[in-house]
Amino acid sequence: MILPPPPRSAHELVVFLVDAAVTHQPWLAAGVDRVVTGARRSLAAPNHHFAWVLFDSTIRAVHPEEVAVSGTAIVTTARRLLPVNPAPTALDGGLAAAYDLARSFLDRRDDGLPRAVDLLAVVGPGGDCGGEEHAAIASDPRIQLAVVTYGGPGPTPAGLDVTALPDPPDDPDLGSAWIAARCRTAGRRRPCLVLG
């Protein structure tokens, strides 16, 4: 008896958008690593890819997609590139780059499998969560944005998926907040993946 091949999973890209204002926090690297480790242990692991964007009021660094990234690498890069006093944060500073990464990822995969992108942002105290790119992202259900805030964000658009970390945190679990956000984004995206 010949068994059919197992179903192949969707291509998935996770883009971490990291606010320069939180790169000194000890929980940042652990949060990134938890999301990556969880994805690598899933059945969809072969089709998972990761990228990251470091921003304050503008883009400070863009790391294109790879099969894995590490929180330590993001923190190390941030310490090397960022000024001593980063500019006030605006999520829009990183969204444009993240959206470009998402579009490129979606456009380059045409093997018939569903495609999906999660933009996972962390925004520090007073950061502006608004942005011109929100409309473009919202227009494509394959791209989902979730924001975790720390220390009280600034302006936040209505309808944005936002989770607040406790402040001051004893041991904030950024990874769990991001993983929960990925579960919500999968639910919002499911009709698109099923229907094509």
How far from chain centre, in Å, is Cα 116? 12
Strand partners, 53: 17, 62
Query: Looking up tokens 């006030």, which residue turns up?
Result: 88
Backbone angles phi, psi at 61, to 5 degrees: -160, 145
Strand partners, 118: 14, 144
Counted residue by residue, the chain has a size of 196
Tens digit of pLDDT for each residue in 130-141?
877 888 888 888
Which one-letter DSSP state was computed for residue 90?
B
What confidence category does residue 188 fall into, taking pLDDT thresholds of 50, 70 and 90? confident
Predicted confidence (pLDDT) per residue in 104-163, tens digit: 999 988 777 788 899 999 998 888 998 778 888 888 888 999 999 988 878 888 888 999
Handedness of CA 44, 73, 84, 152 (dihedral sign): positive
